[in-house]
Amino acid sequence: MSCKTFFVQECPTCGRRLHIRVEYLGKSVVCQHCRGKFFAFDSAGRKCALPESVDTLLRRVDELLGGTPPGAETAARSPNPR
């Protein structure tokens, strides 16, 4: 059985605190309570609703999953580490 990772975001329409799967970061989602549509984003990591790039989004997912500490460089992803 796989373990899902969630973050908490408040619905901008009804104000309920929603548990949203990390894989929905940067995507349009629908509140299951009021059916309001909004973009999923982690308010702890950034204030805007859309990620700047796929790389930025993947780094934030790694941080949330505990793969890299916040602010760390992604040297581990480099094909030729120094």
40-66 pLDDT tens trace: 987 665 444 454 577 777 888 888 888
Average pLDDT over residues 69-73: 55
14-42 pLDDT tens trace: 999 999 999 998 899 999 999 999 999 87
Q: Domains, the chain, ranges and CATH?
A: 6-68 (2.20.28)
Burial of 3 (0-12, 13-18, 19+ CB in 10 A): exposed
pLDDT value at position 47? 47
Does the predicted TM-score (pTM) go above 0.95? no
| DSSP string across 18-75 | EEEEGGGTTSEEE-TTT--EEE---TTT-SSSS-S-HHHHHHHHHHHHTSS-TT---G
